[in-house]
Structure 1
């Protein structure tokens, strides 16, 4: 640089030049503008930030619309004695809310000490904790929960679904709103209520939500019973439910528990002695014991719970107006309390007897199976196979026409399945799905009800281990042929109730056909002749039931009575779309239980309960009420009732069915008997009816005492014949006798005043004639029958005839036969409609006797005189031709004194 004189002049000139001045001014202006821009940008950012902050606050949830109490909690079912029998949960709903007063002080202090030590003093937001969290978040771009207060955590759980944001911005927004709402909440809600809601909401590991659920899960007791160490264990879980789970990670939980206890000591909640005692309390042994016991408990709902769920879901929609989705969500996560009708004592008895192998003809264990196999072949086609395919394959392999899918071992089933699978699965085939279910056989179902209330007290839908919740329930889901139990419902009940018949009404038991279908009785092709409706009930007589239905009731009326009794599975008319065949249950087979689809045990038992309950049908009830989480009754499940029978009819049917339950034989015929073994409960009146289908595929006994009505079914799932029908009666007796053994004596409902007693003839159903009806060839046929007022017979017996015969000749006695030789004999007679050959035919008045009189004592042609006893007097003869008879005469006969009366002979 030139520092000479000339150089300095040049520099001064340059500085003072206009161009330089302009450049300098421009630079200054630019700087000012830049500074102004920065200031403007800063101000704009501040306003934008304030706007965004205000926007966050304005978009925060409305606190007034938020329910801080748990909005998804478990539904609990209770039995009739108030015991908890099941908890219904879905994901995020197994809370069991409790009041603040029920939560131990140690648990409250433990949670506060580890989660929010300044909870009782801050206003919803902990400034110190928040400051730390902000700086930590800016550095790590993670917002740690540790800075949140208990109030904020409650807000997060209730309003923000637990804070599951996927980006930093959303997390910042939620935190701002969370803090704002926490401050607002503490202005209106007591801290104890905030803490109560928080403790009922938090996740405490092992799929437990809330302190009550955690207490039950880990310690098997109510939260109010927790000690200090146990409270610290639960508080230790809060920061990381997975890591500090005391079941799966007891060591980690123990370390965290000690920190909780240390914090409680430092914050003055406990003493040093209490802290040390709690640390040495090995609660983890207890936790493992509770877990071991829990693992032995059934993991699926019982049959009773299944049916309660079904009924509750339907009622929440039909009675409370919820949609199907709303009803299901409410049932599984609405914190409901459902008070069921289940009697725990009776349920235990039913379950024990259903499981007892001694109650089955096969005391050895048998098995059936269901099988599903889907195979995609190399060519892309897919085929589906089942146990039906295996049955056909076995038929081909063995050459036997009849194959029963009943096996002695499970291994035998698996061998057949594998062998069959090899025949259908080829190389390069792909198995898309396969399932094999093996089931104990034969099976049973049981429904036990209180007939007066309609309450279902116990139910069992199958023998053996229940595979899953909401699985097949043979008591409610399975339809089986009811056999002779339907005689009472569709023939005898309507006959007595509205068709003018009585228990004494007689029908002729004989070979019988309807629409070219031949019917016979269950004992074979022996027919007894005249028998009445009481006989039809007591000895389950098919022909008597059929004739009652067809000649007195009509199938249409019998069908209507079945509907009135609550049977919903009947078919009025249905067309098979493949064959075009029309099916209907309005016909003769109805009264024998020959119906299209069958009937459920539940509906059959409820029908008989109506007879037991003075003719009043009550729809089966599984629960009495449903209460919401606030204690409000949603559904008060009042029983639905209707009158099906007159009270007099129900009494008469009960009286007849009492005869079923004691051993007897019809007219001393050993092949025609009542229940065996007997089903009469000791010291308790008992009524009921058997039911056995063709080939003994289904066997039933449905009956009742003054306390309970119960239906038992036995059979094979795949409908194979059973060996005997006695076992179902044995099981029924075993259950009912145990159920009633400690109950006070009680009688069936008192005989109505409209019932009267009349002595009638068993063979005619009409008024008995002493000296005739009681002299029947098979014994006394006079008995006392009960009748509804106005239905007793007024005509006298016309099915017996009394004749006097001469014991010497065996012909009808004439007036000349000695009195000592005259014998009165009673024979049966038939009306014109009685055409079949039956036992009655053996006791009819012989044709040879009808139009003949004694050929010996005629008064005209005796070859010898007789003494007063009708014996001949040696050497003495009477006038005449000595023939001894005078053909075609109707003379008065010998008077037995040795002399003759005058008469006009007509002989040669």
Structure 2
């Protein structure tokens, strides 16, 4: 019997085959699409995890002195530096299947679509932690299909190239917790005043609830709504097995203290110093402006916050408020070159121009220690004698004249030692020395001392007529303080990126530039400005501040019509001060001329208070001899004044003073008779 096929059955089979082929075709298409997306994601490689992060600047004791950001305060911390309660709460409320999906939670997406369809509007989200992290990394905020596709591609790339731990760490460090706090560390500090690893369960559950709607669930905006959200987070953690009922109840009842204050901000401390640090990050380390400002760097500097505050205080209290005098100040550790304090002006807001580093001003007599060091190298000693009297010097083959003047036109009108010439700041002695050595000598010596500005080869260079930077002069004096080793001003000791990778680490390099014995002899000569034993035709130049000093210092002051300087050091600290007018106006008031010395003395005494009182240690090959300052010879018991002076062994004087006591009178009479006999002999010979 022949079977007759039902046309309806045939038609149904035809539709079934079509549907089967369609499903297989769609599945193949989706598989090919997925494979293409996978291959494309593989080609693109790992997406950059770059988000704006605050760069922090640290002082030498680890304190925060400054911060730069784009308004998003974010301080990246590794996942192991985050409270486990934060990690558990985040996964529980945001993406409980985080460790089991590959970026997209299909089951959750389906449930969300069903819930939205029933409610006829969006009521439930399905984004995973990876998707939200991708959204945070994709910085444009336009709601377009292109953006959504890009975010999806970011999600795939994140899952393909990073571990779950890395993704979770990135997410926790990038999400918005409100009030400008981005990332768990900034949020923890803002809301509770503590680091993220110190958060307890109650605090963690409160913070984790905020990103759902930072303006809604912030405990500062609405503690009631924040509390409801916290309870929801605790319920989720209990249901997902992260905490017990008892722990949830205890956390819910805990009384929380909300701080509502950011831990770091742009500090008013050392703004000029911070500008230099940023400039060096750009020029010396080659970092871009974006990396410097938003790269999450940790910049460790040499700034001593105690010394910086002292510098700011003494400048403010020393200079009259109604004065237009400006200031440039630098303090440095002479052994390392570490800049410990810096002031570039009296008010950064009014003028960010840095007078300690950028300004070029005439150093006046503060250049003389460099000149006299060169003289020591050429065989001079602290007791080398020259006449101090009004003198006109001819130069340029006799075509030009130069007549230096001492302060108040006071002169010894006789011979004085180099030690006393330095202590009294005798200008005639300095110019004579300069011309004797040759004008090229001081130019070369200044360069050896680290002076970076151009020096003019003229007689007046001995009196500091070529401009210099304050920081260069402090560096030069530091070389004398440390025994002749080269020092460079150091502002940055280490730079780390947001992950703690070291980008720069300062490595000291030792180089002997000056002769240690001569550096010590020069240093001892520079203590003379504070020693009344060297008073002569005028008091020593440090006489106005001697009573303020409680330890041994070496230094030199200097002045021109428009500039006032004081630079000096102890074995452990060097500081230099310049005061004057920006436009180079003449300093006419005597009080204005004393600012530099006053600031220096007050700073040094306060900065070193409580520190060991150290003296300069003599190297081998240096000897001390009691000297009569007037004669420059070895002092006897009849000399009214005797001062210990230091010499390179073999260059010390061997003659005893013949100006005082009975022996001195006999010797003087004999010399006077010799002079008289010599004069009579010449007279008779002429006749």
Q: 1:144 to 1:151 in 2, by over 3 A?
A: farther
Q: For residue 457 of structure 1, give the secondary structure of its aligned residue in structure 2.
A: strand
Quote the offset at 1:555 in angstroms.
1.9
Quote the offset at 1:652 in angstroms.
1.0
1:67-466 equivalences in 2 (<5 Å) = 73-90=53-70, 94-132=73-111, 146-158=125-137, 161-162=138-139, 164=141, 166-168=143-145, 170-174=146-150, 176-178=152-154, 180-181=156-157, 184=160, 189=163, 191-247=164-220, 253-270=226-243, 275=248, 278-279=251-252, 283=256, 286-288=258-260, 290=261, 298=267, 302-317=271-286, 325=288, 328-355=289-316, 357=317, 359-360=318-319, 362=320, 365-366=321-322, 441-464=324-347, 466=348
1:554 corresponds to 2:533: no
Report the Cα distance in structure 2 between the residues aligned to 1:332 and 1:175, rounded to whole angstroms: 26
Deviations 1:163-190 (A, max 9, x none): 745522x2453355356446646xx73x
Task: State the partner residue of 2:426.
Answer: 541
Report the Cα distance in structure 2 between the residues aligned to 1:802 and 1:242, rounded to whole angstroms: 92
Report the Cα distance in structure 2 between the residues aligned to 1:201 and 1:227, rounded to whole angstroms: 21
- Once the two structures are overlaid, the 10-residue window that deviates more, 651-660 or 299-308, is 299-308
Q: For residue 616 of structure 1, give the secondary structure of its aligned residue in structure 2.
A: coil
Task: State the partner residue of 1:589.
Answer: 460
Report the Cα distance in structure 1 between the residues aligned to 2:582 and 2:79, rounded to whole angstroms: 53
Task: State the partner residue of 2:396.
Answer: none
Report the Cα distance in structure 2 between the residues aligned to 1:651 and 1:261, rounded to whole angstroms: 71
- Tell me if structure 2 keeps the 8 A contact 1:236–1:253: yes
- Tell me if structure 1 keeps the 8 A contact 2:420–2:528: no
Report the Cα distance in structure 2 between the residues aligned to 1:83 and 1:712, rounded to whole angstroms: 26
Quote the offset at 1:496 in angstroms.
0.9
Task: State the partner residue of 1:857.
Answer: none
1:500 corresponds to 2:379: yes
Q: 1:640 to 1:524 in 2, by over 3 A?
A: farther
TM-score normalised over the length of structure 2: 0.82
Q: 1:787 aligns with which of 619, 634, 647?
A: 647
TM-score normalised over the length of structure 1: 0.64
- Tell me if structure 1 keeps the 8 A contact 2:450–2:475: yes
The number of residue pairs the alignment matches comes to 659
Quote the offset at 1:123 in angstroms.
4.8
Q: 1:529 aligns with which of 403, 414, 439?
A: 414
Report the Cα distance in structure 2 between the residues aligned to 1:141 and 1:260, rounded to whole angstroms: 27
Quote the offset at 1:137 in angstroms.
9.5
Task: State the partner residue of 1:625.
Answer: 494
- Tell me if structure 2 keeps the 8 A contact 1:679–1:732: no
- Once the two structures are overlaid, the 10-residue window that deviates more, 843-852 or 632-641, is 843-852
Deviations 1:243-283 (A, max 9, x none): 54555565654554444344334445445565565556564
Q: For residue 147 of structure 1, give the secondary structure of its aligned residue in structure 2.
A: coil
1:639 corresponds to 2:501: no
1:726 corresponds to 2:594: yes
Quote the offset at 1:644 in angstroms.
3.3
Q: 1:734 to 1:260 in 2, by over 3 A?
A: same
Which 5+ residue runs of structure 1 have no aligned equivalent?
Answer: 1-34, 318-323, 367-405, 407-440, 572-584, 805-822, 830-842, 853-887, 889-908
Deviations 1:474-499 (A, max 9, x none): 3222232212111112x2111112x2
Deviations 1:312-341 (A, max 9, x none): 333313xxxxxx53xx44433444333322
1:706 corresponds to 2:571: yes
1:6-85 equivalences in 2 (<5 Å) = 52-60=33-41, 62=43, 65-66=46-47, 73-85=53-65
Q: Which structure is higher in RCO with an 8 Å CA cutoff and minimum separation 6?
A: 2
Aligned-pair RMSD on alpha carbons? 4.4
1:480 corresponds to 2:349: no
Quote the offset at 1:221 in angstroms.
1.5
Quote the offset at 1:590 in angstroms.
1.5
Larger Rg: 1
- Tell me if structure 2 keeps the 8 A contact 1:621–1:639: no
Quote the offset at 1:37 in angstroms.
12
Task: State the partner residue of 1:676.
Answer: 543
Q: 1:67 to 1:77 in 2, by over 3 A?
A: same
Q: 1:145 to 1:512 in 2, by over 3 A?
A: farther
